[in-house]
Chains A and B, each alone.
Chain A
Amino acid sequence: MSDAAPIIELRDVHLAFGEKEILTGVNLRLAARERLVVLGQSGSGKSTLLRLILGILKPSAGSVQFQGREVARMRRRPLNAMRQKLGMVYQYSALISSLSVRDNLALPLEELTDKTPAEIDALVDEKLALVGMADARDKMPAELSGGMRKRIGLARGIIMDPALILYDEPSAGLDPVISSVIDQLIIELSEKIGATSVIVTHEMESAFRIATRIAMLYRGRIIADSTPEEFKKSTDPVVAQFISGNIDGPILEGGR
């Protein structure tokens, strides 16, 4: 973990929905240009972490900071300004179904910048070329396959050249080849535009391919946070069971 000023810092973050506690004291610090993969079981609160960073959810306790500013305390306008520095790539792409691929990508540029239509078109073409989807420019989201939609989602996520890109299960539900293509794209994008990335997944192969750092969320807390090499060698029984996929171990027994 770097000592440089963090892009994102979560300190003792708690989140509960009514009686149900989702996060019970998460601590995370992410420096620029890192690719942090957050692993965890389905329903462990991984996607919730991303929504806390985006300010869509507010923590019950603790602090979530983006570039040194407290996200939960931001008012609407600064919060929206902050969100323009973030790119979010959704599990099911979340493309606006009534808009063409071009319009999906152009939307934030048209609404939030003063760029001319020609500049917007050039940027859209550039990002589509980056994800290898230049031919899909005039297609509607319904005409695209799952993998193609994911790539368009990626292109939309980087259209504003964000400082931080958040990926929610980027390779879930895709065949192994397309999954590798998406993983490779994530690495290339983070290197080309110099963005920091947080990738939420429960797919081990993807995690080890993409990550410069891996954290594991279990029972509302980060129980491991290390480089992929160290993570692989972890002696923590939960981490070891999660990596091996063994059915015997503390995860299904409900203990540690």
Chain B
Amino acid sequence: MLNPLPYARALLQHLSSAVWLLIQTVQEMGDHARRGRLPFRLASFFEQTERVGVGSIPLVALVSFFIGLTMALLTGYQLQPFGQERLVPPLVAIGFTRELGPLMTGIMLAARIGAAFTAELGTMTVAEEVEALEAMGLGPLRYLVSPRLLAVFLLMPCLVVVSDLTALVGAAAISRWAFDIPWQSFGESALQSLLIRDIVAGVVKSFLFGLIIGLVACYKGLTVRGGAAGVGHATTESVVVAITTVIGFDTLCNVVLVALFDK
């Protein structure tokens, strides 16, 4: 019989190491701030925000547009026989704001940015660049991890807004063409259906998923062992772990939010 104990131990070890990485990064940022300096390198931060934010917009917008469109089309056809196509706008609006927007954006960012962070930091680790930063007393976590982590943490909610809006545009377009729902009616119906709690739930999830993706990617990158093969292995693992963790935390969030607000 498979013994789950070693797996549980390894999981706990990785989890505690990732949390420790976050704590140490914050401590190193604090050290720098105490010396009257910015806690992170501004140029690196802007470089990362452009990469994470601006660079991800086309992918997030395009994928969300198509998913929104498909969602509206399929649900619309199911509801049409009952004359309930008018439910399409609220369905897409609530579905995306609260669930699909953060989740799809999280998955896309884990694949696009998480993989890049891990490969980059992994290559630097293998080439002793990270150790060189440590040897110079620069604080490699502050220098390397903080701009990346902050960029993905802060820009994830912005990308989720892009995802939500483009999904609604896709859904509105197909609803206009397939179900004769005018643009204005779609917009009004979508807005009326949204509750503050849906928006808050989406925003909270976005921040959380951003943190998870950044932390997993940086942790995997900084713990690479074994040269080029190790970097490849860590990059694959980083994407798999980040996506699984994002979906896991999404489920957890939904359970908690439903228990708190929807009963």
Chain A residues close to B by CB (< 8 Å): 54, 56, 76-77, 79-84, 86, 88, 90, 92, 94-97, 107-108, 111-112, 160
**How close is B137's CB to chain A, nearest CB, in angstroms?**
3
Query: Do A96 and B132 have beta carbons less than 8 Å apart?
Result: yes
Query: A92 — which chain B residues lie within 8 A by C-beta?
Result: 127-128
What are 21 pairs between A and B in contact, CB < 8 Å? A56-B131, A76-B28, A79-B137, A80-B31, A83-B134, A83-B137, A86-B135, A88-B132, A88-B136, A90-B128, A90-B131, A92-B127, A94-B127, A94-B128, A94-B131, A95-B132, A96-B124, A97-B127, A107-B136, A111-B41, A111-B143
A97 to B133 Cα, complex, angstroms: 12
Query: Do B138 and A108 have beta carbons less than 8 Å apart?
Result: yes
B interface bracket (residues with beta carbon within 8 Å of A): 10 to 19
A79 to B138 Cα, complex, angstroms: 11
Query: B27 — which chain A residues lie within 8 A by C-beta?
Result: 76
List 17 extra interface pairs beyond A88-B132, A97-B127, CB under 8 A.
A54-B134, A77-B31, A79-B137, A80-B31, A88-B136, A92-B127, A94-B129, A95-B129, A96-B124, A96-B129, A96-B133, A97-B123, A97-B124, A108-B136, A108-B138, A111-B143, A112-B137
A107 to B123 Cα, complex, angstroms: 19
B139 at the A/B interface (Cβ < 8 Å)?
Answer: yes
**How close is A92's CB to chain B, nearest CB, in angstroms?**
7
Q: A76-B28, A95-B129 are in contact. Are A56 and B137 (CB under 8 A)?
A: no
Query: A97 — which chain B residues lie within 8 A by C-beta?
Result: 123-124, 127, 129
**How close is A222's CB to chain B, nearest CB, in angstroms?**
23
A88 to B134 Cα, complex, angstroms: 10
Query: A95 — which chain B residues lie within 8 A by C-beta?
Result: 129, 132
Query: Do B135 and A88 have beta carbons less than 8 Å apart?
Result: yes
Query: Do A107 and B127 have beta carbons less than 8 Å apart?
Result: no
**How close is A229's CB to chain B, nearest CB, in angstroms?**
33
A201 to B128 Cα, complex, angstroms: 18
In the complex, residue of chain A having the shortest beta-carbon distance to the beta carbon of B127? A94
Q: Which of B73-120 contact A (CB under 8 A)?
A: none
In the complex, residue of chain A having the shortest beta-carbon distance to the beta carbon of B37? A111
Query: Do A76 and B128 have beta carbons less than 8 Å apart?
Result: no
**How close is A118's CB to chain B, nearest CB, in angstroms?**
18
The 7 closest A-B pairs by CB, nearest first: A83-B137, A80-B137, A94-B132, A94-B128, A88-B135, A84-B137, A108-B136
A79 to B139 Cα, complex, angstroms: 11
Query: B129 — which chain A residues lie within 8 A by C-beta?
Result: 94-97
Query: B143 — which chain A residues lie within 8 A by C-beta?
Result: 111
Query: Do B134 and A56 have beta carbons less than 8 Å apart?
Result: yes
Query: Do B138 and A112 have beta carbons less than 8 Å apart?
Result: yes
In the complex, residue of chain B having the shortest beta-carbon distance to the beta carbon of A168? B128
A76 to B143 Cα, complex, angstroms: 15
Query: Do A76 and B31 have beta carbons less than 8 Å apart?
Result: yes
Query: A82 — which chain B residues lie within 8 A by C-beta?
Result: 137
Query: B138 — which chain A residues lie within 8 A by C-beta?
Result: 80, 107-108, 111-112
A208 to B133 Cα, complex, angstroms: 31
Query: A90 — which chain B residues lie within 8 A by C-beta?
Result: 128, 131-132
**How close is B71's CB to chain A, nearest CB, in angstroms?**
40
Query: Do A83 and B128 have beta carbons less than 8 Å apart?
Result: no
Query: A56 — which chain B residues lie within 8 A by C-beta?
Result: 131, 134-135
**How close is A199's CB to chain B, nearest CB, in angstroms?**
16
**How close is A146's CB to chain B, nearest CB, in angstroms?**
14
**How close is B129's CB to chain A, nearest CB, in angstroms?**
5
Query: Do A80 and B139 have beta carbons less than 8 Å apart?
Result: yes
In the complex, residue of chain B having the shortest beta-carbon distance to the beta carbon of A77? B31
A80 to B138 Cα, complex, angstroms: 7
A211 to B129 Cα, complex, angstroms: 28
In the complex, residue of chain A having the shortest beta-carbon distance to the beta carbon of B123? A97
**How close is A58's CB to chain B, nearest CB, in angstroms?**
13
Q: Which of B128, B129, B132, B135 has the most CB of A within 10 A?
A: B135
Query: Do B31 and A83 have beta carbons less than 8 Å apart?
Result: no
A107 to B134 Cα, complex, angstroms: 12
A97 to B144 Cα, complex, angstroms: 13
A128 to B134 Cα, complex, angstroms: 22
Query: A112 — which chain B residues lie within 8 A by C-beta?
Result: 136-138
**How close is B21's CB to chain A, nearest CB, in angstroms?**
14
A96 to B123 Cα, complex, angstroms: 11
Query: Do B132 and A83 have beta carbons less than 8 Å apart?
Result: no
Query: Do B31 and A54 have beta carbons less than 8 Å apart?
Result: no
Query: Do A83 and B127 have beta carbons less than 8 Å apart?
Result: no
A160 to B120 Cα, complex, angstroms: 27
**How close is A51's CB to chain B, nearest CB, in angstroms?**
8
Query: A79 — which chain B residues lie within 8 A by C-beta?
Result: 137
A144 to B195 Cα, complex, angstroms: 59
A94 to B126 Cα, complex, angstroms: 10
A81 to B139 Cα, complex, angstroms: 11
